[in-house]
Amino acid sequence: MRVLLQRVNHASVVVGTETVGEINRGLLIYAGLQASDTQAVTKRMCERILNYRVFPDDQGRMNLSLMDVGGGILLVSQFTLAAETHRGNRPGFSTAMAAEEAQSIFEGFVAAVRDRVQMLPISVATGQFQADMQVKSINDGPINFLLEVPT
């Protein structure tokens, strides 16, 4: 599983003319599922994302996580993150999970995040699976990290 984590001041997902997910300060997460990923992998990624220290402490150092500061998390499924890009000029998608299975695994990932933060001041929003989404964000920093959890 690969995710692109972005620290944002605001992010939203629009499908057609409808805003389907929106957060203020927090994390925008693009998630790419690979064919070998399981719910166990997504649970490990959930813990990693929520505890990844990307927010500044009193000295301005990235020592605080979303669990420490609260805010929002916007989860967007993005199969292109699972692409094979090591050679050539065109991405290959043989490593990406099939859409039907990916939807189930992604929904489990979202459920794991919601379960983990349910008693905290953290809001959870999502995009719409397999939709043509327009993602808008105001990146804070900019701070971006590509995280992977091997299967």
Q: For 101-119, how does the pLDDT look when each residue is reduced to its tens digit (9 = 90+)?
A: 999 999 999 999 999 999 9
Per the CB < 8 A criterion, the answer to whether 55 and 62 are in contact is yes
Q: Which residues contact 123 (CB under 8 A, 6 or more apart)?
A: 23, 26, 71, 72, 73
| pLDDT tens, position by position, 67-81 | 999 999 999 999 999
Catalytic residue among 79, 106, 109, 126: 79
What pLDDT, on the 0 to 100 scale, is given for residue 17? 97
Count of positions (residues) in the chain:
151
> Which among 6, 34, 42, 78 is annotated as catalytic?
78
Quick check: 88 and 139 in contact, CB under 8 A?
A: no
Q: Per-residue pLDDT averaged across 72-94, rounded?
A: 93
- Structural contact between residues 97 and 105, judged by C-beta atoms closer than 8 angstroms: yes
Active site residue 78: yes
Task: Exactly one of 80, 85, 130, 151 is catalytic; name it.
Answer: 80
CB 30 within 8 A of CB 83: no
The reply to whether 17 belongs to the active site is no
Burial 122-140 (b: 16+ CB within 10 A, else e): bbbbbbbbeeebebebeeb
pLDDT confidence of residue 142: 95
Mean pLDDT across the chain: 96
| Contact predicate 28/137, CB 8 Å | yes
Mean pLDDT of 35-57: 96
**CA gap 92, 94 in Å, rounded:** 6
Q: What sign has the CA pseudo-torsion 135, 138, 140, 143?
A: positive
List the domains of the chain with CATH numbers.
2-140 (3.50.80.10)
Q: Model confidence at 138, in pLDDT bands (50, 70, 90)?
A: very high
